[in-house]
Amino acid sequence: MSSPSGDALQSAVESNHGGKATFVQFVPVREMSGSQTVWDGVVHVFDLKGSSSGAFRAYAWPCGQGDGPGDGKREIFTILHSPLVFSPVLAVRASIMAGAR
């Protein structure tokens, strides 16, 4: 299964957080726990204007393989920039930590 396009990620940011998202860059991220890779992928960074959250930036990336039970679609994660999540790496870490709860 192919990865969602940048347009799909942009649409997910706008749908989840409101406002208009403009692509800025993509950043490769590899998150390790000891010697094991926990997550390895590319995070898309978007500037965000007009969001009711007041955030000026958002991070988005696809996750999952699309080969498990269900409809086979990859999930798209979106996280707003905040004082605690101010980089693509921290956005991925926040997502991993939220999933561990």
Per residue, the 3-state secondary structure of 35-56, as one string, reads CEEEEEEEEEEEEEECCCCCCC
Please give the pLDDT value at position 77. Answer: 94
What's the pLDDT at 99?
Answer: 77
What pLDDT score was predicted for residue 1?
A: 38
How confident is the chain (101 residues) per 10-residue block, as mean pLDDT?
76 96 97 94 97 95 64 82 97 88 58
Looking at residue 21, its pLDDT comes to: 97
Task: Identify the pLDDT of residue 74.
Answer: 75
Cα–Cα distance for residue pair 82/101, rounded to 1 Å: 20
Question: How confident is the model at residue 98, as a pLDDT?
Answer: 87
Radius of gyration of the chain (CA): 14
Confidence at residue 4, expressed as pLDDT on a 0 to 100 scale:
74
pTM: 0.85
